[in-house]
Amino acid sequence: MSIAISAPVAEALRKAAGDKDIEEFLVELLSARLDPPERVQLYLKLHEKYLREAEDLYARGDLLQAGEKYWGAATALLNAIAERRGWEHYSHRDYNVIIRRLYEETGDKELVIGFRMAEGLHANFYHNYMGPKDFQLHREAALKLIEKLKSLL
């Protein structure tokens, strides 16, 4: 489904969202009007969408966009986990706190490593410094993180 909005509204949305994906930003705005279980389901659907898009972009060789979608897939899961647990999850700082708490809870250092590697994909989106081999290493770690986060739901 797509929704058409006027150019001024689209520009205001982009500006208000800052460095967030527009859909993720809209989910944040909607969250006040949804019950917690509905918010969790929305984050899970957003995760699935981002992961599908990431894999498609990766297959087409668009590593910059794919990396940002892998980051989005991971953060959507972090949002779902935090929502279930009653933790804040509205900023990049919150994602770091969530990962630290999950690490403290599980003792699984791969959560921290995977998060940092996924964060690298996010940074690469803005700075374009990774070559294909470096990207692949970060992608594999991000996918491993995603599986670990799914298991924590």
Q: What is the mean pLDDT of residues 65-78?
A: 97
Reported as type and span, the H/E element at residue 76 is helix 63-85
Percent of the chain residues past pLDDT 90, beyond the cut = 76
Q: Say yes or no to pLDDT of 90 above 90.
A: no
Q: What is the pLDDT of residue 30?
A: 82
Confidence of residue 78 (pLDDT cuts 50, 70, 90): very high
Report the b/e string of 21-41 with b at 16+ CB within 10 A: beebbbbeeebeeeeeeebbe
Q: What is the mean pLDDT of residues 57-77?
A: 97
Q: How many whole angstroms separate alpha carbon 21 and alpha carbon 72?
A: 8
Domains of the chain by range and CATH?
Answer: 36-152 (1.20.120.330)
The chain-wide mean pLDDT, for the chain, equals 94
Q: What is the pLDDT of residues 91-148, one digit of tens each?
A: 999 999 999 999 999 999 999 999 999 999 999 999 999 999 999 999 999 999 999 9
Could you tell me how far CA 44 lies from the centroid of its own chain? 11
Q: How many whole angstroms separate alpha carbon 61 and alpha carbon 64?
A: 9
Q: What is the mean pLDDT of residues 79-91?
A: 94
